[in-house]
Chains A and B, each alone.
Chain A
């Protein structure tokens, strides 16, 4: 480990800056928004860009030195003080969070300006606060600090989702109840860990773990922490809150929350299992693999089948998200190196794919004012570039090479075969086939059925009217999306292929260092 306490240079304080920059920018944007509704957006955009740059520098730093950066808050050393630990895994996830938050924010400028015209301060402030919470969750090396940051991210997430359609507050309230149960269970688990070890620092707890493997207190702590996190990541059968909450939120909020919340929670699960409870306890002593992989299989099958039943494009995506949660949880609990690599790689790939799909949803919504799959009739002719990007994203979710979805799925399937979990492999293949049906159904509608006028429909969708009203006049002649939306969207779709082509390098140079050597 390298220590940077007492050093006041900018670079050495980056682990703290990457979290506090969006936090303070959130306060500034919120206050300025009272006076001037044009002020918050540029502030938030600059803050997100600087956070993104910081995370790139952190990634380079970790990769070049090859060791984890331990940042001591206010100079207090662990285990007394709170430390932020930037290793290969957290640096990767931090880079993922900042880039998605930034790209989604830039792409949705016109969306934010129209939908949140009167709530500019609140919206931009919440967006930054949510990002800060996720970054803190990822960076922290302290179990209780993790709870606080998890709640910061969750609370701002509830508020962001609640700003959506008229139905959103009710779904958000249900999400809030389940999210609070999840977080409180985690807190309870941390309490038992504290009783058993007297420490809250993850590395410190891990060093005590070998002596207390057979403690029933630790077993209870493990179970209750896992249940809490599984609720928060919406694993079947604890997924009930997700589809309503995500599909009824505003597109720009969904574009931030849907790719990141479940993925960061899965990262937290991996972090807790590897860094806090140690792989020895999770995989060897408890032998959790079978149970968790079966849970994952259930989630994959359920998510895929439910996605088939949806008529609404965004709702379909929410069920795909649930199925993908199963991929990552199952991949991680295979417990072998390939499976864990696949799970971590899929965190990155799935976040990028979900971002692309929700950006496409935002563009369709912006243009047609509708969310049903029927509204996409004739889109290939009207919006060729958007549909090209959408095709790449869809193929990536299905898992067609050379898009990134193929490579992480390849790792997951190889891991499943190596671990002898053939049902998991079958579930992955089944889910890929279902995804193929889902997206080819949309391709068919968008390609072969003639374009139809949507104008008379917009009155039926009064709850979505706010987003649609500004564009009613364009209904007759839908053309390509505005460049401000299209360029970031195309960039993300190209990134899906680039991530795929470089997935070998990502695994060899980053993920390999993120997995402890005890996992073979």
Chain B
């Protein structure tokens, strides 16, 4: 009972930690290079989801301020920060997503080069070939 509520209260953190571990496991334990790359993407996505979730506030709405032009004058323009979700982590993650895509692109390009060199993407087979070549 206690444990359930503990997990439920911090569900976003649990989700990101589990995803992070799934990604890390794939990067360390998988034999296929593309599967490792997929693991890397999961790993990065976990942190992106973590950032997105920390911007959220219960009952918060989009951070768009209506009638913002008369700020400081009318009663309508009184802004409570608690009413709006925090947009900054989301904006940061737009950049992080771009970084993630670029990393994925470089990784796949390298995987293509590896395949051209060894004719396989399985790490143990590549290692065998390297040992044979000396």
Contacts and interface: CB of A to CB of B under 8 A. Distances in A.
A176 B44 CA distance: 13
B110 interface: yes
B54 A176 contact: no
Interface residues of B, number: 31
Contacts of A170: 110, 114, 117-118, 126
Given A176-B110, A184-B44, A148 B54 contact: no
A191 B50 contact: yes
Interface in A52-87: none
A158 B27 contact: no
Interface residues of A, number: 24
Interface in A164-196: 166-167, 169-170, 172-173, 176-177, 180-181, 184, 187-188, 191, 194-195
A173 B24 contact: no
A155 B101 CA distance: 11
B85 interface: no
Nearest to B115: A169
A243 interface: no
Contacts of B92: 144
A151 interface: yes
A162 interface: yes
B107 A151 contact: no
A144 B36 CA distance: 26
B92 to A, nearest CB: 6
B108 to A, nearest CB: 10
Contacts of B47: 184, 187-188, 191
A180 B51 contact: no
Contacts of A176: 40, 103, 106-107, 110
B57 interface: no
A173 B54 contact: no
B71 interface: no
Interface in B103-132: 103, 106-107, 109-111, 113-114, 117-118, 126, 130
B96 A187 contact: yes
Interface in B48-63: 50-51, 54
Contact of A173 (B44, B51, B107, B130): B107
Contact of B27 (A147, A148, A181): A181
B99 A158 contact: no
A172 B114 CA distance: 10
B54 A169 contact: no
A159 interface: yes
A227 to B, nearest CB: 12
Interface in A207-261: none
B18 to A, nearest CB: 14
B11 interface: no
A191 B55 CA distance: 11
Contacts of B40: 176-177, 180
B103 A188 contact: no
B123 to A, nearest CB: 9
A159 B105 CA distance: 11
B106 A155 contact: yes
Given A162-B110, A167-B130, A194-B89, A180 B44 contact: yes
Nearest to B126: A170
B102 interface: yes
Nearest to B27: A177
Nearest to A186: B47
B117 A173 contact: no
A166 B51 CA distance: 39
B33 A173 contact: yes
Nearest to B116: A169
Given A173-B111, A181-B43, A184-B44, A191 B51 contact: yes
Nearest to A177: B27
A194 B90 CA distance: 13
A180 B24 CA distance: 11
A191 B43 contact: no
A467 B114 CA distance: 20
Contacts of A191: 47, 50-51, 54, 89
A446 B123 CA distance: 39
B95 interface: yes
Nearest to A168: B113
Contact of A155 (B44, B102, B118, B130): B102
Given A173-B111, A176-B106, 7 more contacts: A151-B99, A151-B103, A159-B106, A169-B113, A170-B117, A180-B40, A181-B27
18 contacts: A144-B95, A148-B95, A148-B99, A155-B99, A162-B113, A169-B110, A170-B126, A173-B33, A176-B106, A176-B107, A177-B27, A177-B40, A180-B44, A181-B27, A184-B44, A187-B47, A191-B54, A195-B54
Counting from the closest, the 7 A-B pairs by CB-CB distance are: A169-B113, A173-B110, A151-B99, A169-B110, A169-B114, A170-B114, A188-B47
Interface of A: 144, 147-148, 151, 155, 158-159, 162, 166-167, 169-170, 172-173, 176-177, 180-181, 184, 187-188, 191, 194-195
Interface of B: 20, 24, 27, 33, 36, 40, 43-44, 47, 50-51, 54, 88-89, 92, 95-96, 99, 102-103, 106-107, 109-111, 113-114, 117-118, 126, 130
